[in-house]
């Protein structure tokens, strides 16, 4: 019995990481483009760059919202 290629094993072992575009984050937060880039620039919202594209992991957006809710509750 042949084993699956290593690439298949790697993708099954690693959890799926959803990445959002800046326009998707803009829509979810109902903010403008410059406001989202300000959050990225000030490191309040984590992001990665893939070539010239900026992507925000969904968990970073969730963490940002959770942090803001905790700050507002305090």
Residue 56 in 3-state DSSP? strand
Q: Which tens digits make up the pLDDT trace of 17-65?
A: 799 999 999 999 999 999 999 999 999 999 999 999 999 999 999 999 9
- What are the residue ranges spanned by the domains of the chain? 18-73
The predicted pLDDT at position 48 comes to 96
Look up the pTM and report it.
0.75
CA distances from 31 to 10, 24, 44, 49 (A): 36, 10, 14, 21
């Amino acid at each position: 019995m042949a084993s699956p290629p290593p690439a298949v094993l790697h993708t099954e072992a690693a959890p799926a990481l959803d990445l959002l575009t800046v326009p998707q984050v803009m829509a979810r937060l109902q903010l403008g483009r410059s406001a989202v880039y300000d959050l990225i620039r000030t490191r309040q919202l984590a992001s990665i760059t893939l070539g010239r594209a900026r992507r925000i992991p969904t968990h970073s957006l969730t963490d940002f919202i959770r942090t803001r809710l905790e700050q507002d509750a305090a």
